[in-house]
Amino acid sequence: MHSPEEINAIRALAAGYAGSTKGRPLVLSDADHTLAPKDGSKMFFLAGGLNEEDMCRNFDQNGYTKASLLRHRDLHLAVGRHFEEIAERAAKLIDLSDDVVAFFRAASKLCTTIVLTGGVPLVWSHVLRNHGLTDVSIHGTVRPEGYEIFEVNGKGIFARELAPHSAWSLAIGDSQVETQMMKASTVAAMVAHRCKKTGLLNPELSCEIAGHPNIIQVTHKPDVKHEGIKLVAWRNLLEESAELAANRQT
């Protein structure tokens, strides 16, 4: 459960974008397993020569809750002064596809484009910068200078605060953590992702946003996709979302 102070902090963060978003499209995206198939935290632990077992156990036992994300943050920050160095090395282990880069390049020119992660924003900031995507804003939980809790409620608060200022909004994600963010947005783009434990595709996410009027999907792997949901190439995601938003308004 978020404290009133945490809720106000997320609302204030979103409100800071309200002026630049007014009348423009808004793109909100998750990071891990969404921008690329890799997990930024796992790459962080790999780059730092650290054991990821405590991280995995934390989420297996507690899910993606406020408490587990704060524990997640503590596990990363235990590296102390090496945090920034390890984050930069981790980013070099993550590559974005040409289509994903093309989408974010177009989105950052035409839309207010923001990445929200419960993971390590500095890793993904370096990833984006390494691909020339310097106009995409990114915020997240795991950072030394304080935090915003970007689990499902945190992302939902941010989206509900900012989306009404936009001409239309697109939310992109792969897991249950993005459900509230997607429900608050005009278009929901699900990144097809297979759960390693169950073999199911986006099990919690696909159930919770089933009633959304504008669901589409993108994928990083052509053989991983949902049946019955329109598959859109990453490169065409902005154009497809704009068309869905226009049809809704007419």
Q: Are residues 49 and 124 in the same domain?
A: no
Q: In DSSP terms, which residues pair with 189 in a beta bridge?
A: 172, 216
| Model pLDDT, residue 206 | 83
Per-residue pLDDT at 249: 61
* Alpha carbons 97 and 218: distance in angstroms, whole number: 13
- pLDDT tens, position by position, 147-205: 888 999 999 999 999 999 999 999 999 999 999 999 999 999 999 998 877 888 998 88
Q: What is the DSSP letter of 178?
A: G
Shared domain check, 138 and 73: no
Domain count, the chain: 2
Residues of the chain with pLDDT under 50: 250
Characterise 60 by phi-psi region: left (phi > 0), alpha (psi -120 to 50), beta (else). alpha
Q: What is the pLDDT of residue 197?
A: 78
Pair 144, 66 in one domain:
no
Instruction: Kindly report the pTM of this predicted structure.
Output: 0.96
Kindly state whether residues 80 and 104 are assigned to the same domain: no
Angle at 147 between CA 143 and CA 153, to 5 degrees: 125
CA distance 202 to 213: 18
Question: 60, 65, 26: which is closest to 154 by C-alpha?
Answer: 65
Q: State the residue range of the domain holding 76.
A: 41-91
Residues 25, 46 share a domain? no
Same domain, 27 and 57: no
β-bridge mates for residue 46, sequence order:
none
Residues 56 and 173 in one domain: no
Closest CA to 133 of 91, 105, 171: 105
Pair 61, 150 in one domain: no
Can you tell me which residue has the tokens 């809750």? 65
Q: In terms of domains, do 68 and 126 share one? A: no
